[in-house]
Structure 1
């Protein structure tokens, strides 16, 4: 088992990958048993040869998408601590030792490389990316009540426990959002690490599509809120339906009935009844799903215990060897 594994997902980063690998080596020279893995995602340029020349271990993921690459990395690599960093040379590798130390010494499950609290808005030349990052951060802060400063950052440190318990479901760039919410909802220890950010060098292009990937991220936040907080989600729907039924009922049915003793608008009464019934069913569904979520959280804790025992066993075997 490695002491530290640096994981670099790559797609067409021939301009920068060699520098990133060399900088990672330089920054981790004092950390024994460090391996640098570059996972190529069907690059059509010289990314693979450049990474090999720099001394990285190169592996491949043939399903396109960053989420697919991270799933492969997390399954295959065994380490006490993991650093995930992009291959575009936008993140400073000198932050790696401090981020890893938080995992080793303080048992942090995820260290988030926070660009937004430093130079991101000055360095990033794509204004809609800036706006998207703010929207995503505020959305997750609103729905999930957390203190993560930078949701979309690709620079993170992970514990063995997080990596081996994380079920990767996203295929693309919404992966960072998914892993952040999973850590929040499962009460894992998260810390922010402020880092400097520099924009891509000239000639290097971002693979993130501002609009299509942005909408995927927002849709993922909505889906995860429904999945992790079903009682809140369906309660909101229930309240809206009941309020709508009330607004229709009193002026159109109740007041005329008080005045005349007759129900003139029978279809409106039927619609109000259906809305009220649907609201009650929605709330009941939320309660049932909330019980299932709580059961899954208990099972997740048991899985963490099994993973922790497996981790200790591997460390013991390694020390015996």
Structure 2
């Protein structure tokens, strides 16, 4: 088992990967550096191997697929994930890893947005998108320790996080999924401001502003629906019930005044909305019970994994 494992998912980062490996070797000389080459066509894997990294291949395209394989394959006391594009200086790596090794956090987020990101990043819609995603998550989950950067690829993880994180995303939604998982499961989360520098000339971002941005928003929507069904379906239920009352009141007042129901379509629509609202409320109760049971099962799994990790550490000593 490694003490610190540096994880670098890569797709066509041949221009920068050698420098990234060198920088993190200098700051974390005892760490094992793993580069997972995701079908690169520019000899990223060969360059990384020559620079001294342990190189492995992931043939399923997408960052989420790469992280899934990394988390399954590698055993360590601390995992540090970075991008291979040389946008994250290594100077904060030791501090981030120390928080994990001391048991003060399960995930440490390298917060670019509180530092130099908005000045360095040249893609304006990326700035807007990062800010929107951060605000959505903080509003929907309202954590005591607000998340300052959701889309950053610079993070440190504990073994507990890595071995209990169910990865569903295949692409760049993975960072959003990580953040929401930590918040929903009440894991310890810390933000560390880190400097950000834009990609060097000739290096191209693989993230598509519009398609990947839409996937991130859908990930937030779906995870909120899965993790907070009472709030999600309860809000829909309330909306339908209010609409039903608004439609029904004029019909009721007319009936009280004249004894007639002249607007049958409105009366039928109000009944449909009322029935839909009640069904949504019933669904919210059932799904909330399932979500609560899932959290209970997760806590039991965490206890089992914690015992296994403790036994592994004692055995390795």
* Map 1:151-170 → 2, pairs under 5 A: 151-170=150-169
SS of structure 2 residue aligned to 1:128: helix
Q: Distance in 1 between matches of 2:106 and 2:233?
A: 31
Find the counterpart in structure 2 of residue 207 from structure 1: 206
Q: Distance in 2 between matches of 1:46 and 1:27?
A: 25
Q: Distance in 2 between matches of 1:315 and 1:246?
A: 61
| Residues 259-289 of structure 1: CA deviation (Å, up to 9, x unaligned) | 2110011222122111101101101111111
Q: 2:126 aligns with which of 126, 129, 154?
A: 129
List 4+ stretches of structure 1 deviating above 3 A. none
SS of structure 2 residue aligned to 1:258: helix
Does residue 92 in structure 1 map to residue 84 in structure 2?
no
Provide TM-score, normalisation by structure 2.
0.98
Q: Distance in 1 between matches of 2:97 and 2:22?
A: 18
Give the 3 Å change call, closer, same or farther, for CA 107–308 of structure 1 in structure 2: farther
Does residue 317 in structure 1 map to residue 297 in structure 2?
no
SS of structure 2 residue aligned to 1:9: strand
Q: 2:291 aligns with which of 282, 290, 293?
A: 293
Find the counterpart in structure 1 of residue 300 from structure 2: 302
Find the counterpart in structure 1 of residue 224 from structure 2: 225
Deviation at 1:258, TM superposition (A): 2.1
Q: Distance in 2 between matches of 1:312 and 1:224?
A: 31
Q: Distance in 2 between matches of 1:309 and 1:240?
A: 46
SS of structure 2 residue aligned to 1:295: helix
* Map 1:99-178 → 2, pairs under 5 A: 99-146=96-143, 147-178=146-177
Find the counterpart in structure 1 of residue 25 from structure 2: 25
SS of structure 1 residue aligned to 2:86: coil
SS of structure 2 residue aligned to 1:201: coil
Residue pair 1:107, 1:159 contacting (<8 A) in 2 also = no
* Map 1:227-246 → 2, pairs under 5 A: 227-246=226-245
Find the counterpart in structure 1 of residue 39 from structure 2: 42
Deviation at 1:48, TM superposition (A): 0.8
Does residue 13 in structure 1 map to residue 10 in structure 2?
no
The alignment of Structure 1 onto Structure 2 pairs a total of residues equal to 315
| Residues 178-228 of structure 1: CA deviation (Å, up to 9, x unaligned) | 010000000000000100000000000000000000000001100000000
Q: Distance in 1 between matches of 2:93 and 2:74?
A: 18
Deviation at 1:255, TM superposition (A): 2.4
Q: Give the unaligned 5+ runs of structure 1.
A: none
Provide TM-score, normalisation by structure 1.
0.97
| Residues 154-180 of structure 1: CA deviation (Å, up to 9, x unaligned) | 000000000000010000000000010
CA RMSD of aligned residues (A): 0.8
Q: Distance in 2 between matches of 1:254 and 1:172?
A: 53
Q: Give the unaligned 5+ runs of structure 2.
A: none
